[in-house]
Every structure is written in structure tokens, then in C-alpha cells.
Amino acid sequence: MSVIGVIPARYQSRRLPFKLLRKLYGKSLLQWTWETASKATLLDKLIIACDDPKMEGVAKDFGADVVMTSVQHLCGTDRIAEAVRDMDVDIVVNIQADEPLIHPSNIDSLVQEMANNSSLVMATPKKMIDDDNEISSPNVVKVVCDKDDFALYFSRFPIPYYRESDISKVYYKHLGLYSYTKDFLYTFKNMPPSHLEKAEKLEQLRVLEAGYKIKVIETQFDSWGVDTEEDFKKVEKILGEKGYA
């Protein structure tokens, strides 16, 4: 079984311009993410799929395999689909370019789960939330699952809603990491955007609304995406505390 990890890297960014090339302790955000993902043991190959020659040059300079893709793609899924179109692979892992703190074991857990269960078409991780600020933040996506750990719903709103105050409250954060079979990646790409996806701005809801299942794997390792200046400073602080300063 062949497994490829793809980091879709868009040069322009709506909320934080050119964020992937911003430096953290001498390395670009993109390089931090690539180096971390490179530590996963179950990837046969790791590539960066980018849309700009400057980003391509930066990525090649730090040793990454790079595939150039169209600037027209509106989401990472479409960029990945173009990048792996002619590759002979079974499982594709979508690794968010702006998550330098993603733990390599989270990547391996998704690959292992799909390798062990041929009926799965897609998987993603979750982590129990231990910061009350994340529960109320719309930038932190929450997920609820069924008894077999398949996703029931993803939301920017705190879910579930606890009507009774004496019930122990548990919330799970969805981490932005996905694995798919290559066949399902193209099924996903060709689905029209769904009503719930448009409402929440979460493309994984397209999958649920179409009737497919997403396996959710619990992890103890958190991660943070960099979408704002505040996020950038948070990641910078965490890396500093880890001794990279």
C-alpha cells in the first residue's frame, strides 16, 4: 500500500498575507510544517503542492519535493487532487501547511487506521478540549461522533449543547488533518459544495451531507493553525518554550 503526504501551500492568504513564508526562529512557517511532517514514519513520500514560483524556490531550498499547481484552486483538496492525479498511490494525507505543531504520530495514526480497515474512505483526528476559550471560539472546530467514532457533525459552535448544568461537559476539537483513499479524494473533489459546508465554511461537512462516513481518531497531541497574527504569536511562543528560540 502506497501512502503520500501532501502539504497544499497557497502563496496568497486572505487573513494573514504571505503567512507561509513568514519566519519563525529563522525558518519559514512552511519549512516548520514540512520538517514536522517529515518525521511521520508511515509516509512513503511527502510533497509540497504550491502555486507560486517564489514559494517553490523556498521549498526546494530547504529540501522539499515540490509540485507546481494551478493558482485557480479555491481549497487545499483541489490542489492536492491536481498534485497526485498521475501518481500511483492508495492513501493521500492532507497536511495543512499552516500547522507547524502537528504531531507526526497523528499522521501515522490516520494512515494505520485506514490500512487496517479497507472499508474506510476518510479519517481525521480529534482531541479533547482542555481550554475553555477554545470551546467558545469559532476558529476552533468542534466535532461529535457516534459510538464507533464516526463523525456525526463538525461545527464552529460549541457542540453538544448541554441543557442540564449537572452533566459533565466534554468537547472535542477537530484537528485539520485528513487522510483519504485516492479514489475518494476525487469523489470528494467532484461533489458540489453543500448547504452545511457553506453555512459553517467547513468542507468536511460536504462529505457527511452526501452520506459518506469520516472515521475520527482521538489523539492526545494538539495542534494550532496559523490564520491570524494572534495565532502566529501563539505558535512562536510555543516553539520558544520548546527550546527553538
The DSSP string of 154-173 is: EESS-SS---STTSPP--EE
Q: How many domains does the chain have?
A: 1
Q: Return d(Cα 121, Cα 75) in angstroms, integer.
A: 19
Q: In CATH, what number is assigned to the domain containing residue 160?
A: 3.90.550.10
- Please tell me the predicted confidence (pLDDT) of residue 34: 97
Closest CA to 142 of 227, 66, 65, 200: 200
Q: Which structural domain range is residue 235 located in?
A: 3-241
Average pLDDT over residues 63-71: 95
Residue 184 pLDDT greater than 90, yes or no: yes
- Please tell me the predicted confidence (pLDDT) of residue 15: 76
Beta carbons within 8 Å of 137's beta carbon, 6+ residues apart: none
Residue 57 pLDDT greater than 80, yes or no: yes
C-alpha cell at 171: 468537547
Residue 67 pLDDT greater than 90, yes or no: yes
pLDDT band at 245 (very low <50, low <70, confident <90, very high): low
Residue 183 pLDDT greater than 80, yes or no: yes
| 162 neighbors 169 (Cβ within 8 angstroms) | yes
Name the amino acid, one letter, at 194.
S
What are 91-132's pLDDT values in tens digits? 999 999 999 999 999 999 999 999 999 999 999 999 999 999
What are 146-160's pLDDT values in tens digits? 999 999 999 999 999
Average pLDDT over residues 85-96: 97
- Please tell me the predicted confidence (pLDDT) of residue 48: 98
Residue 60 pLDDT greater than 70, yes or no: yes
Phi, psi angles (nearest 5°) of residue 4: -125, 135
Q: Return d(Cα 195, Cα 192) in angstroms, integer.
A: 10
Phi, psi angles (nearest 5°) of residue 78: -65, -40
Residue 30 pLDDT greater than 80, yes or no: yes
pLDDT band at 244 (very low <50, low <70, confident <90, very high): confident
Mean pLDDT in the chain?
A: 95
Average pLDDT over residues 219-224: 94
Average pLDDT over residues 68-89: 93
